[in-house]
Chains A and B, each alone.
Chain A
Amino acid sequence: MDRLHLGQHISQQFNTELAALTKQVLAMGGLVEAQLATALEAHAARDLRQVAHVVARESEVNAAELEIDARCTQILARRQPAASDLRLVLAVVRMVTNLERIGDEAERIARIAEKLGNGEFAEHYGVKLAQMGSLVRDQLRGTLDAFARMDETSALDWLRRDREVDLLYKELTRLLVELMQRESERVPAALELLWCARALERIGDRCKNIGEQVIYLVRGKDVRHTGLSRSAAPLPDAKS
């Protein structure tokens, strides 16, 4: 946590506020992570009670987003943070937005599971989807972990692994399109699956955004829209 020396301000109050802020973000992350895990389980096991669980969590996530936003506003107004403190607050604001969206996607996945009900599906697609789901889950966990440790290299790693998710998504899309061409009566179910895959792919993107914020926070470099995730280059301009 303390690569940024967040706990070393002369003002103890400020230290506490920043510590509380990061803790809250991580708690919200945990919430979203659990939501995603539950949604994926619901998918795999077709367990409708789990779905209700995911949906119920949604309001908690929203409340957390609002509270963290309010905290950030307060810190900005009262502390006028600079440099790493400023970046932390900005990164947190952006991160919670992404987290909240991830929560929304998880909810969508859960609802799709509900719609699909007990319909038959070839192992094949289910496995691919589960693979993608676990990849995205790992990505989310890894990114949040990178934030918790302020570890920008690990964040960069997870950022780059988003490509795997994208590849899987493309493959799944292709398979599903083929399926739809072959068996027109399964088009609705296939479409639901496609939506699900799309949601996972979006979660991956959101995780990427969060990873970028971790890098911004630690390095002070805004790496959005720089194609960093597609290149293999190391992070520029190492901090002394």
Chain B
Amino acid sequence: MSAVEVMPAQLLAGLELALQARGLSLDYADRRALDSVHLQVPSRRVTALIGPSGCGKSSLLRCFNRLNDEIAGCRVGGEILLFGDDVYAGAIAPPELRRRVGMVFQKPNPFPQSIVDNVAFGLRLAGIRSRLELDDRVEAALRATGLWHEVRDRLAASALQLSAGQQQRLVIARALAVEPEVLLMDEPASMLDPISTLRFEELVVALRERYSVLLVTHNMQQAARVADYTAFLHAGRLLEFDTTDHIFTNPRLRETEDYITGRMRETPLR
């Protein structure tokens, strides 16, 4: 399945591409998780990845920051480009790559440290030692996520005392602090209450001003609300990629339609 088939021609014409997967395949020790995936993630847009459980969404996401490398017996084929640089070619070391491609996980996972230490974690790894600069960038990151006003009086308090929604925003602030180019989000709102979810979505929409966001979500309404583009992944293949409007009003494929309208059959199609 080539890039031309999964998306309308000229869909991303004129847009800078933050991430590209070309013929990407991923094998775990015992099974194939992704099969010749062609995906283009435009810069400064929110792109949603949807698809049934086990379709390879998270696996695909973790290819972009090479987090799959940490799994034994995991093999990646094909190419991934980050603003034109081949990610797997060895030109970029994984830690450097991960600084350029931040990630937010499903479960809010702040470190059991103070709020400020959490946000400064990546900065310290990057070798920033100056107290002044650390403070500045921590504040900027917290402001960007709208958390600054909620926590400015208790920066030294444990991050674990925050609510789940605040923790998730803290984790985003932590990822933003190192100023990545791309932000990967793996079902980031699935553990949040509805209000926190809305606030989070608001944040994602605001983030597209500066970042390219690739968002995996199970919540189709969420994809519909925040994403500019939506990709439908099924059984390890990227089946359809289009503007979110298109996907949610008139998808090209029966499979996409079945999934977003809640008609997905239990057995995979192929």
Contacts and interface: CB of A to CB of B under 8 A. Distances in A.
A–B direct touch, CB within 8 Å, in complex? Answer: yes
A153 interface: no
Given A9-B262, A81-B261, A87 B254 contact: no
Given A82-B224, A84-B257, A14 B251 contact: no
A11 interface: yes
Contacts of A87: 249-250
A210 B189 CA distance: 41
A239 interface: yes
A83 interface: yes
A83 B251 contact: yes
Contacts of B260: 82-83
Given A10-B263, A83-B260, 13 more contacts: A5-B258, A8-B258, A9-B262, A10-B264, A11-B262, A82-B220, A82-B260, A83-B247, A83-B248, A83-B256, A84-B261, A239-B252, A240-B252
A9 B263 CA distance: 4
A240 B265 CA distance: 18
Given A82-B220, A83-B257, A220 B263 contact: no
Interface of B: 220-221, 224, 247-254, 256-258, 260-265
Contacts of A240: 252-254
Chain B at the A interface: mostly helix, strand, loop or mixed?
helix
A47 to B, nearest CB: 47
A9 B258 CA distance: 8
B261 A82 contact: yes
B252 A83 contact: no
B249 A5 contact: no
A130 B237 CA distance: 59
Interface string A66-91: 00000000000000111111110000
7 smallest CB-CB distances across A and B, nearest first, come from A220-B250, A82-B260, A8-B263, A82-B248, A83-B257, A85-B261, A9-B262
B262 A83 contact: no
Interface in A213-240: 219-221, 239-240
Interface in A180-234: 219-221
Contacts of B248: 82-83, 86
A5 to B, nearest CB: 6
Contacts of B250: 83, 87, 219-221
A132 B264 CA distance: 47
Contacts of B257: 83-84
Contact of B262 (A10, A219, A239): A10
B221 A86 contact: no
Nearest to A237: B252
Contacts of B224: 82
A80 B221 contact: yes
A106 B253 CA distance: 41
B190 to A, nearest CB: 17
B263 A86 contact: no
A153 B149 CA distance: 59
Contact of B249 (A8, A10, A86): A86
A67 to B, nearest CB: 24
